[in-house]
Each structure stands twice: as structure tokens, then as C-alpha cells.
Chain A
Amino acid sequence: MAYALQQLINGITLGMIYGLIAVGYTMVYGIIGMINFAHGDIFMIGAFLSLIALLGLASLGITAVPIALALTLIFAAALAALYGWTVERVAYRPLRGSFRLAPLISAIGMSITLQNFVQVSQGARVKPMEALIPGGFQIMEADGFAVRLSAMQIMIVVTTLCVLAIFTWLVTRTPLGRRMRACEQDLRMASLLGIDTDLTISVTFIIGAALAAVAGLLFLLYYGAIDFFIGFIAGVKAFTAAVLGGIGSLPGAVLGGLLIGLIEVFWSAYFSVEYKDVAAFSILIVALIFLPTGILGRAEVEKV
């Protein structure tokens, strides 16, 4: 029982990170109907930007943890947003109205490019980092197993909830959010009504990339090690989360992220660690076959 509770805590923490990435997938899919294959790599770049910022701040003498983290968060989110904007501008915008597979192939090319760019510029070795936020406390002890909730896990859950709250406010309460929702419902109609659709799509990529960068920072702090390849697996899992929650649905992305996190952690704890990625990928296949609209998604009507 205590063991399961511990897995629940770990699973929710991991699920929060997946949820943050999944929001980016689901937003882009909702508006322009393409899988932004490079999104997982934006997450990886966010993690690298965070690492560089933390090291840079430490060498400048700023070691107070809250200040350093806040500055890193802003730095990584801003620059990752710039990456998101550039990727859209360079690789996707010229392809609107091209043939069906073109944006997807371009996105795969962008993903390979970003991954190898970081490998070439930062090296292929794993980058370790010591824990910034130590400590935590013990919730309960049963059967000789102590359930721990670390300060890091609290920080991850709180940060994610804050970021998602700001994001929800942005989408539901601001004129910008209304434009985004209008584009999501009908891109051509929105442009006829005078909405700058190109700008709105750019903003969508910027917001998605910033959220992915927050996830990157949290991933770096939680695991304490990153390399250029983390974006690939995390990207596929976050995409699975978006599909499971219902692609196009924002609450669905967070819900899907939590589910994937929980499934992965419980699978590792009770079955086998080696096959944990197989579990996540199998869920993707099963979900697409039997539940293509996801939990909170709506059925897609094919128009000719």
C-alpha cells in the first residue's frame, strides 16, 4: 500500500511534465491539423537552455536558488519560444497548401536537425547536474516502507499548476485566446473575419514552445541528467498523452499526461523497467485503434 502510494506520487510528478509537453502538441494539432514532430526537440532544447542558464548564473555568482530558478525559467522559456517561432516560420509556414505529407516530412526534418544541432554544438555525452532543491519529508511509514514526498516533487507540481493556470486564463479570458479558439474552429472563416491567422498560428507555436521549455527545466531538475536524445522518447510519450486525452482538447492533454505518467511509473514498479517504453508505445497504438478520439476529444468529421 505504501509502495503504491509512493508510485502514485512519482507518477503524478512525471505526468505533469508530460502534460506540459502534450499541451503544445494538442494546440498545434487543433489549429493546423499537423503533428509538430519537432516539439519534443524544443523540449530538449528548453532543458539545454535551462542547464546553460543555471551554469551561467552560478558563474556570475547568483546562487540564491529561487532567484536563479526564476531567471532560468524566463530565459529558457523566452529562447525556446524563439525556437518555436523560427521552426514554424522556416519549416511549416511556406508549406501551407502543399501536398498532404509535406508538412509532416518537413517536421521530421526539423526534428532531426534540432537533435543533431545540439549533438554537434553541445556534445553527445550525458550532462549531469547536482540536485538544486534537496530535502523533502516523510508522509507515512507502513510495512517498513517510508513514503517520501520530496521538495522537488512539490515544486514540479506547483510550478506546473501555476503555468497551466496562467495558460488557461490566456486561452479562455483574453482576446488572444479568443482568436486562437476561433482559428481552431475554422481557420478560413477566422481569416475571413479579419483575424491575422498567420500571427495567431505563430503565437500558438510560441506558447507551446514556452510550455515545453518549462517542462525541460523541470525534467532537468527532477532527473539531474540530460542529453540530446531526451526529446525523442519524451516527445512520443507526450504525443501519446495528447492522443489519449483527445487531440485538440487542452484539459485532455493534461489528463492524458497524468495517465501516461502513472502507467509508466506503475509498469516500471510492478512489471519491468526495460519494457516501460514498450508499454507507453503500445498504449499509443491501442488508443489510436480503439479510441481514436481520446477521452475528452470530439469525433472528427471527414469533409470532402
Chain B
Amino acid sequence: MKSAVRDAGLSALVALGLFAPLIGLVTENGDHGLELRGRPLAAAAVVVLVFLGRLLMLTRAAHIAPPVVSGPSPAMVRAGRALAPALLVFALVLPFGGSRYYVDLATLVLTYIMLGWGLNVVVGLAGLLDLGYVAFYAVGAYSYALLAVNFGLGFWSCLPLAGILAAFWGVLLGFPVLRLRGDYLAIVTLAFGEIIRIVLNNWVSLTNGPNGITGIPRPTLFGLRFSMDGGEGTFAGFFNMEPETIQRVIFLYYVILGLALLTNWFTLRLRRTPLGRAWEALREDETACRSLGINVTNTKLTAFAIGAMFGGFAGAFFATRQAFISPESFTFIESATVLAIVVLGGLGSQLGVALAAIVMVGGLELLRAFLSFLADQMGSPIFAGIANELPLYRMLIFGLALVVVMVLRPRGMVSTRTPTVLLVARGQG
């Protein structure tokens, strides 16, 4: 106990050094240049938190034996099997029970689930760390936006084109760089993502630069438009309904649900092909893979291209949903968010990615909404303050989560990263 207190004291001392200047003193842009303002209470609170947290960690670790690493219990396995169909049913009926706010939020979450599943092919299955995934998202979004605005093409004819173009860019980038080692590959993809964004920002004659592209057309349902006039050729007019915005919102929700499920189905099927097996083998050991005669470059290239293609689909959907895109939406933060979802989901687990996206994107937004609801009800400025500040802390939480998951559960929250094939069946070997 005594050594634990001493250790926690040392941690608190380090925390004091780390946080006293950066939290305790804040630089503010005042009237006469920068001013320094003291914030000793906040710094002291963080130091005390570090002390208590460390103390708790040490005393708990002393009392409780480290958990025995074992597979999930049978009850958990049954619950896990039921979870995916339950989620699917919930997703299918959600628009009929929820208000517009929830449908919009669910659409956002599904976009991230789709991006996560797309990146999962690259990172989770093939083991290639791609830090520039947002570049393919941007290629898809700009492909659709430019084709639709300049040539009047519709969403459904552009969707495959957006995917193919994104896949093409994936091959173009992948061909020279896939010979590189894992961490070099990561930084090259990061550089590529930034290059795409800078070019989109500065090639004003094509992309309208930072002002973005406006007036991107919405998708149609078998040619039926979702416009408010309710006349011939519109959804409301065809079914003799009152035209309402919620119809379009729900339609968009089902479009992304369909796209995401397509991604999932495609990936699950691919995993059972020789190509999918080669990806998993590549992830586990590249040298062994090469020795067995697998063409490593082609295998990596297909993973890259297929991941990019799904990114392109998601990008086209993003463009049509927002009706406006600008380079602002395609920063490194987006790549980092999607990567965080894939890592938290367990690098290779489809269900894990979905859960991670629901918790990290939907959960935080619901927490914010709940806090501002509480603030309204009770008239409490503290809750309102937290609710306003919460989006700022989003990326901080993501970053910390990446570190914590790697340190505590390197295989992710839902650890189902098992190889699809085994030489000896489990339990007999």
C-alpha cells in the first residue's frame, strides 16, 4: 500500500509537470496581443485525478489476479450470434419509430459503418495500415459531384463509376508503394491523402476550391424524384401522398443501409475465396506468404482497390446526401476517425466495426443531445457547457481510445480475429 501511494505520488508529480503549464496557464488572444490567464483549479483537478487513478490501478492490480485469457463463454457466444440479426432488424424498422433527428443520426452512423467495413478489408483483413483512406472517399464524392453537375448524370449511374474511379486511384497509388514495409506504407498513404486534399483545395477551375460544389442532385427511386411540388414523376405524386422532407430522409437512410449491407455481404463472401484466405495469410506473415508462392503484390493491390472502391461508394453517397461538398470534409481527422472505428472494432471483425461506429459516432452524439436536453429541463449552465464542449473532446476521446485499446486489448473490443480456416478443429487439437 505504501509503495502504491509513493508510485501514485510520482505519477502525480509527472502529471503536474505535464499539465501545470498547458492546462494551468492558458494563452488568450486579447486586445493587446496574447495574454496569459491562470487556471490553477483545472490543473490541480487533473493532477488529483491522475493520482487517484494510478492509486486505484495499483491497488486493484494487487488484489485481483490478472484475468485468465480465454475464449468467450457459451452464453456470450449465443448472445453474440443473436446480436447481428437483432441489429439488422432494428436498423430495418428504425425509420418508422424514430423522428427525423434519429434517422439523420442513423444515416451518419451507417456512413461510418460502411467506411469502417471498407477500411476493414485493407487494415483488418490484409493488414495494410492505410492512413489516407479519406482520399478515396473524396475521389468518390468529387467524381459523383462533378459528373452530376457538369454532365447531368444521375446518382445510380454515377455510383458504379465513383467506385471504379476510386478503385483506379487505389491501384495507381498502390502499385508503386505496396512493396514498402508496413509503417512506410502508412506514412505514404497519409501523404497521398493530404496531396489529394491540397489539390482539391487549389484546383479552383475544376473543383471550385475551398468554396466547394453546391447543388448536387439527390438520388431517385426508379426515376421518381423526392421534390416538394408533389406533381408527376415525384415520389409523393406517384403514391398519392403529401410531399414531406422526411420521405427523402428515410429513402436516403435505406440507400446507405443497402450500400453498407452490400459491403458487408461482399466482404464476408470474399473472405471465403482463395483471395480472402491470401489476405489473412498476408496479415499474419508476409514472408511465409511469399515463400508459399502467393503473389504478394497482387494480393495487396486487390485489397487496396476493393477497400478504395467501397470508400468511393460511400463518398458518392455522402455527396448526394449533403448536396454540397468541399475539401473541408476530407481531412486527416476523417481517416483517423475511420481507423479508430476499425481498430476499436477489433481489426477484422465485421460486427465489431459496426458496434464501434454505433458507440463512437452515435453514442457521443446521443450523449451530447441528452446533456443539452438535461440543461434545457433543469436550466443548468453546467450541463449546457458540457454539451457544447463535447464535440471538441470527440477526437481527444478517439485518440486516447486508440492508445488504451492497443495497450489493454490489442485485438480490439470484439476479439473475433480468428483465422477462417484451421488445420485441426478447435477443441480437438
Contact = CB atoms under 8 A, between A and B. Distances in A.
A105 interface: yes
B207 to A, nearest CB: 13
B402 A55 contact: no
A123 B380 CA distance: 24
A123 B26 contact: yes
Interface string A276-304: 01100110110011001000000000101
B199 interface: yes
A185 B312 CA distance: 44
Interface stretch (B266-274, B298-306, B353-361, B393-401): B393-401
Contacts of B183: 34-35, 104
Interface centre among B17, B176, B187, B332 (most CB of A within 10 A): B187
A106 B407 contact: yes
Contacts of B413: none
Nearest to B128: A101
Contacts of B340: 109
Nearest to A119: B392
A110 B22 contact: no
B396 A116 contact: yes
A100 B181 CA distance: 11
A123 to B, nearest CB: 7
Interface string B104-117: 00000000000000
A95 B407 contact: yes
A2 interface: no
Contact residue range for chain B? Answer: 35 or more
B403 A52 contact: no
Chain A contact residues, majority secondary structure: helix
B256 interface: no
Interface stretch (B28-36, B76-84, B319-327, B418-426): B28-36
Contacts of A95: 406-407, 410
Interface residues of A, number: 66
B353 to A, nearest CB: 15
Contacts of A174: none
A122 B26 contact: yes
B23 interface: yes
Contacts of B401: 109
A66 B279 CA distance: 59
Contacts of A102: 406, 410
A83 interface: yes
Given A95-B406, A112-B395, A122-B26, 16 more contacts: A49-B21, A55-B27, A59-B36, A79-B18, A91-B406, A101-B127, A102-B406, A108-B336, A109-B340, A116-B392, A123-B26, A123-B28, A125-B29, A282-B195, A285-B176, A304-B287
16 contacts: A55-B36, A56-B25, A82-B17, A82-B18, A83-B18, A91-B407, A101-B347, A108-B339, A116-B395, A121-B23, A122-B26, A123-B28, A128-B29, A277-B198, A289-B177, A292-B180
